[in-house]
Each structure stands twice: as structure tokens, then as C-alpha cells.
Amino acid sequence: MSGRIGGQRQRPRVALLGTFGTEDVTHFRNMFPTVWRAKYIFKLEELVDVREIDLIVIASDIDYVSDWPDTTHVICFSKDIPRLPGPNLHTYIGIYGAAETEEFLFPDVTLPISHRREADYCDLTSVRGWPRIELRYESIKTTELGTAETIFNSGTIISESHTISPLAVAFLREDTGLGVGWLPSVDRNKSAWVDLLVAQWAQSDKNAFPGFGEWTDSQEWMVPEEVQIISQIKALEQKKKETVTEIDRQIGEWSNKLALAKAEANNGLRRLITKQGDELVDEVDKALSNIGFSVTKVDPLIGENEPKREDLRLKHLGESGEEWNAIVEVRGYARSGGKTSDLSRINRFANLYKKETGQAPDKCIYIVNGQTELLSPQQRQEPLVSNTEDLEVFSDSNGILIWSIDLFRALKATDPTGYPALLESIKCAQGRWVPVIAPSP
């Protein structure tokens, strides 16, 4: 049998289901040559056979739509529809729960959708309570499920950041090539989203959307003003691409520099916060040397059978030439914030120092890095906070306590021109050392 088929209405043929605003309806009638409207699906079924429909647009007040979306392109603005077709056979999508956080993501999407999304969501501050769209499946092969997940995720327009669940999605089904768009939280600009998605789907389904978004986009039929505007848009898009590429390059460079700086700090000044034993002693040695003390490590000077001594000795010549000397004991503890027994140890070292040199040290300095098993320094307590009497006795014997975290803070915040003031604050300290941070010039 051959011949012309009669009774066909002009395409695209669109069914509007539910309540749409007057402006939207007028826009749809101007945009599509054939439009049917019905408030309920059974009323729509009285007007037209589903096989004649190219696109069904579902309003936000609809909760049931039969199986029409299975055989048509569909754009849905309702959060009450139980399910819509998924990316391939044996899959479907539905609303499952609501977003629990304010945070959201804007994944990479095609440029027109990006522009529309920015126009509608630019002032958005929270998606808490927005319906989530999730992919569900029945009996399906692993490879087919992987394809469905890829299509579904790549169609994400906006998503909740903590779960990466789409809050709006648009994709083409693998099995039929029919489009599925679900924007359950769009309460305005519905016609703009329909325009956008139909223009995109028309590129692959010219039969359902003949000439839609094509001839007016051709320069052959454009007026000069349109050509000029498009030229400006393309120039800005190219500039945006080049700018983003350059910024990404710079971010990469600075990220590498940050990684190197972090590694250097971890192996340097930050050891005052993280380390115990020889590494902590080495960093204290370096820190005190940097601010102007002459520092000597004592262990290499001790004979094999001689008693243990302090870790470091400090020397400094004042402006008038007087010599100032101190002994330093450095201790690190995983759980303890410092021990009073260390104060007695330092007093013993001071007596040995006096026997060796003929004079007592001007200062006995106890530097401690405690509670290192607490990774955050903010969680740690100052050393010997519950042993004020012992600390007072130690202070009366020219002893001072330095928390290594305070030493880190002081060195981090002090410009080298302020090191002399930092040095003098240690020389003059009594009891617990309170760092003096000189302002930068």
C-alpha cells in the first residue's frame, strides 16, 4: 500500500498536562504548532492518542500520568510523579527522599543549559529539602547498568553535594533516543526550560521536532544584529575558555608550590608541634640559633661513662659584652603535657654545669612538646597547667618553661627584625614564657 497518510497534525505535537500559567500556555502555543491541554491524564486521553504525541510537559500539580512518558519525550516539573523512564531498558528514575544539606554542586553541562541554570539558580543559597532524583533498576546486566549510571550522572543539572544525587536532570534514553527532563524544584521559567531542552533534543530527533531551533539559527536567515551578537558571544566563550585554562594552569603551579612548602614546613618549623626526641631537639636548636643565640649540643661533648646532661647550651653576648649562659632540656610526650620530674632533672643538670664551669647557668630552660598524640595543637593543654607551685619553685631557681607550640607561634609571626626582642624575652623570662611578638616594620 502506498500513498499519503491523512489526519496528521503539524509537528511538534505537544501535550500539556496539569496547571500552567497563562504566559507559559501562550508561549507554548506560539512555539509549537500543535498543543493539547488537560488538567488530568484521563482528560488528555480523551483528546488525543499517546502515539500522536511528540512531547508531554507535566506541571508541578500532577501526581499520575499513566505510561505516556514511556513513549514520548517528557519534561516534568512535578515532584509527586512516582517514576519516569530511565536511561535504558529495565531502569527508571524517581524521587527518593530530600536533600539534607544547604550545599549543592553545579556539574559541567552544555553551554546553553549552563546559561539557563545560572539565570535560575544564581541567587540560590540552599537546597535543603529539595527532592532527590535517583536511578533505580530491575533485572539488568552489569554493563547495561554502568551505561545507565553514566547517562544519568552526565545528565545532572544540579545536585546535592554530600550525596551527589541529582536535584534536576536531563538526558536521552539509550534504547529509544527519547528525552527525559525532570526539574521538580523549578517554579518559574518553565517555558524557558522547555525551549532549551527541546532545542537540544531536536538535534537528534528531527522527525519529532522538524525545523525546531534550526533555520532561525542559520546565518542564512539571521538579521545582522543577530549575527553580531552571536559573534560577541562566541568571542566571550573563547575568552572564557582561555581564561579558565590559564587560571587552571596558575592554580596547578601554586598547588605544587604549596605542596613543596608544606613538605618543607613538616620537615622544619612544624616539627616543634609534631616531633619528639632528636628531631624535636634539632628543631629547637635551629629555632634558637635563628633568633640569635649561640647554641651547642651537649651529647657529643659527654664522655662514654659520664652522667647524662642537658640537651643544649645557650650563650649570648650582651651589648656591653657581658656573657649570658643557659642550659636547655627538650622533652616530647605523646600523652603527657610535661612532667614535674623534668624540673628536678634540670636542677640536677644545673648543678653538674656549675661543677664543670665554676658558675651556675643564668637560666635553666625547659622546652616541652606535649600531648602529640592529639593531632590538632588546639586540643592540647599548656604544659604543667596543674602544677603551678612546682613551676613557681622552678622559677625561683632561674627556671623558665617554654611550650614548643608558643615557640612555633612566635617564630611564625615575628619578622627577623623582631628576633632581638624575642631573644631578650627569653633571657628575661620567669616561670612560664609568654612570647613577645614584635610588630613587623
Question: Which of 397, 389, 386 has the alpha carbon at shortest distance from 354?
Answer: 397
More confident site: 138 or 48: 48
Condensed to tens digits (0 to 9), the pLDDT of residues 364-416 reads 999 999 999 998 899 999 999 999 899 999 999 999 999 999 999 999 999 89
Asked, for residue 440, whether it belongs to a domain, the answer is no
Specify the pairing of strand 399-403 against strand 363-369. Answer: parallel
Closest CA to 125 of 102, 99, 157, 100: 102
* Residue 214 pLDDT grade (very low, low, confident, very high; cuts 50, 70, 90): low
Closest CA to 426 of 394, 403, 392, 396: 403
Residues 250, 362, single domain; the answer is no
Longest dimension (CA), the chain: 124
Q: Look at residue 438 and tell me whether its pLDDT is greater than 60.
A: no
User: Which amino acid appears at position 293 of this protein?
Assistant: F
∠ CA 218-220-223, rounded to 5°: 90
| Confidence band for 5, pLDDT divided at 50, 70 and 90 | low
pLDDT (tens digit, 9 = 90+) per residue, 319-370?
Answer: 888 999 999 999 999 999 999 999 999 999 999 999 999 999 999 999 999 9
More confident residue, 212 or 314: 314
Which residues share a beta bridge with 16?
37, 57
Q: From CA 30, how far away is CA 52, in angstroms rounded?
A: 19
Which pLDDT does position 188 carry in this prediction? 78
DSSP-assigned states of every residue in 279-337:
HHHHHHHHHHHHTT-EEEESGGGS-TTSPP--SEEEEEE-TTS-EEEEEEEEEE-SS-S
In a domain, 300, yes or no: yes
| Same-domain check for residues 189 and 106 | yes
Sole residue written with cell 527508571: 92
User: How do residues 95-154 score in pLDDT, each as one tens digit?
Assistant: 999 999 899 999 888 888 888 888 888 888 899 999 999 999 888 888 888 999 999 999
Residue 4 lies in a domain: no
Residue 5 lies in a domain: no
Taking alpha carbons only, the member of 82, 100, 58, 91 closest to residue 171 is 91
Comparing 10-19, 204-213, 273-282, 375-384, which segment has the lowest mean pLDDT? 204-213
Residues 243 and 214 in one domain: no
- Cell numbers 635553666 correspond to what residue? 364
What does the pLDDT average to over 209-214? 74
Pairing of strands 55-58, 73-76: parallel
User: Is there a single domain that holds both residue 363 and residue 350?
Assistant: yes
d(CA 394, CA 400): 7
Is the per-residue pLDDT at 3 higher than 60? no
Mean pLDDT score of the chain? 91
Domain shared by 247 and 279, yes or no: no
| Collapsed DSSP state (helix, strand, coil) of residue 51 | helix
Tally of structural domains, the chain? 3
3-state percent breakdown (helix, strand, coil) of the chain, nearest 5? 40, 20, 40
> Are residues 105 and 49 part of one domain?
yes
Based on the fold, state whether residues 205 and 331 are members of the same structural domain.
no
183 inside domain: yes
DSSP state of 219: G
Q: Is the dihedral of CA 244, 254, 273, 373 positive or negative?
A: positive
User: Do 177 and 319 share a domain, yes or no?
Assistant: no
Please check whether residue 235 lies inside any domain of the structure: yes
pLDDT of residue 375: 81
Amino acid 359: pLDDT: 94
Give the CATH number, domain containing residue 321.
3.40.91
Say whether both 211 and 297 belong to one domain: no
Write down which residue in 237, 266, 295 finishes a domain.
Answer: 266
Here the cell at position 304 is: 662514654
- Total number of residues shown for the chain: 441
Q: What is the CA radius of gyration of the chain?
A: 37
Same domain, 190 and 295: no
- The residues near 401 (Cβ < 8 Å, ≥ 6 apart) are 338, 366, 368, 383, 384, 391, 394, 431, 432, 433
Residue appearing with cell numbers 653576648:
317
H helix intervals, 175-320? 190-201, 224-266, 271-274, 277-290
What's the pLDDT score for residue 1? Answer: 43
Domain assignment present for residue 105? The answer is: yes
Are 364 and 429 in contact by the 8 Å Cβ rule? The answer is no
Query: Any idea what DSSP says for residue 77?
Result: -
pLDDT of residue 441: 47
Distance (Å, rounded) from C-alpha 93 to C-alpha 165? Answer: 12
For residue 142, the model assigns a pLDDT of 86
pLDDT exceeds 70 at position 229: yes
Among 300, 299, 367, CA closest to 333: 367
Domain coverage including residue 358: 271-432
Q: Are residues 231 and 213 part of one domain?
A: no
55 occurs within a structural domain? yes
Examine the pLDDT at 69 and tell me if it is beyond 70: yes
The phi, psi pair for 73, rounded to 5°, reads -65, 145
Predicted pLDDT of residue 143: 87
Is pLDDT of 21 > 60?
yes
pLDDT bucket at 439, cuts 50 / 70 / 90: low
pLDDT tens-place string over residues 146-181: 999 999 999 999 999 878 889 999 999 999 999 999
Q: How much of the chain, in percent, has pLDDT values that exceed 90?
A: 72
Tell whether 280 and 416 lie within a shared domain: yes
> Residue 255's Cα: distance from chain center in Å?
15
In DSSP terms, 401 is beta-bridged to: 366, 432
Q: What is the mean pLDDT of residues 204-224?
A: 79
3-state DSSP assignment of residue 429 = coil
Mean pLDDT of 227-245: 91
Tens of pLDDT along 265-319? Answer: 999 999 999 999 999 999 999 999 999 999 999 999 888 888 899 999 999 998 8
